A = this chain, B = another copy of it.
């Protein structure tokens, strides 16, 4: 960490993303216990940071999943290009084909058009993306074999299939989730038989330990977590907070801090605050109503609060860096260097 960076949490400019190192490390250990090494293909879209990715690679997770061409490019630039999967359809893949001599890049395709783009763009390896119940990308399972054949005829390495059961991540009942994941993955396994190759890629933080059909799991949110995933009773805890400074205290009973909705992913709703209720989110403010434990009269301008976001991926994507802390000490700075497209 550059010596010009703040050394204590009290000196961080706010709003700031703060990662509790001990919680983060415990999350990594909990995941490694179930999915060691290549059984996990960490999804960088959740944290968009090559510094965090390098920490995972040090634990033996050297194959990564990306959602955008920009994420792939950044991982290659950071020397993390052993096995990168663009787990998403894109027509803008020639920029990745141009990196084929420097990294091992695989791209998902689900149609003739995306396959043509991969061929024309100099992509060497593909996975056939199969729709397994989430209304998003992925071909009809019955079409997977045909696409694989076309890809091989064009000289591409078809490594296997991927299919994301994203619609099942937040199913609360474990038995119900297991049944539904099995049904969803049966489509993928059948398509894998048609496609060939040895990769069956899918899953996520919400199904990491019960999706036993995939050869590798695409999880990323487990590293930092959020209040939405925290509802599932997984062996992961919230490691990421948005640190904020109180800039106004009203005798009417609220305090205002400087973490607004521009610092927070809002698609899953407001962040949470352990000290009371989140009343209003504005662009650059949050209005908080303190609970009984610490009444309004004890709050001062300059106090700091920590908010927990409801969705970690878009929250991280709004910031330039994460600050890693151990108690009050700032021990590292992770640039969020994989943002944009």
Contacts and interface: CB of A to CB of B under 8 A. Distances in A.
B248 A89 contact: yes
A321 to B, nearest CB: 10
Interface in A95-110: 110
Contacts of A267: 261, 266, 281
Contacts of A283: 45, 67, 313-314
A258 B86 CA distance: 13
Interface in A273-315: 279-285, 287, 300-302, 313-314
Nearest to A267: B266
A318 B317 contact: yes
Contacts of A14: 92, 341
B136 A248 contact: yes
A301 B248 contact: no
Query: Copies of this chain, how many?
Result: 2
Contacts of A110: 248
A279 B135 CA distance: 9
A227 interface: no
Contacts of A282: 136, 166
Nearest to A140: B251
A104 to B, nearest CB: 22
Contact of A13 (B92, B247, B320): B92
Contact of A302 (B113, B252, B258, B263): B113
Contact of A114 (B138, B266, B301): B301
A301 B250 contact: no
A180 interface: no
Contacts of A319: 340
A283 B43 CA distance: 12
Interface in A45-86: 45, 67-68
Q: Which of A15, A247, A318 is the most central at the interface, judged by chain B CB atoms within 10 Å of its CB?
A: A247
Interface of A: 13-15, 45, 67-68, 88-92, 110-111, 113-114, 131, 135-138, 140, 166, 245, 247-252, 254, 256, 258, 261-263, 265-267, 279-285, 287, 300-302, 313-314, 317-320, 340-341
Given A89-B247, A136-B256, 4 more contacts: A114-B248, A135-B250, A135-B254, A317-B318
9 contacts: A14-B92, A88-B247, A89-B248, A91-B301, A111-B301, A114-B247, A135-B287, A138-B248, A266-B266
